[in-house]
Structure 1
């Protein structure tokens, strides 16, 4: 997405050191809220408990556009759609 011109803000509570080394062109932030603030698209690409337990209503209040792609199918689809998100799960 970055190569296509998107501004990518990334957060990973466990792998940030490695991710920064592999993808220095991305903007790494310190918290999930930091990366969600003003986002046009939310990509969940890892199953860390912190991400599985995100409150969809709270996330909706942070993003610019309520669209989520659940790359691990770890989110509660019903909760996210009830919060107003367009939800896409990989392989669904």
Structure 2
């Protein structure tokens, strides 16, 4: 029982560390959290042990983080880059 407690504490602290290191975009943070939870559930379903759950959470968090980062970058490009030179041309 003591080993399970230490493993759960290590998994929780690693997830909190990943969330704290997430980028500033809201989609990136949301993707990290959802990916970590989804990966943990998939790891538990596939492996059925703590190592598979922690590994699934780590892999899911990384994938969700990248998907969210790409969504934030796409939103940034659509909102700011199209209007980068709003007054480029002669004025009437």
Into which bin does the TM-score normalised by the smaller protein fall? Answer: under 0.3
- TM-score normalised over the length of structure 1: 0.20
Higher RCO, 1 vs 2 (CA within 8 Å, ≥6 residues apart): 2
Q: Which has the higher helix share?
A: 2
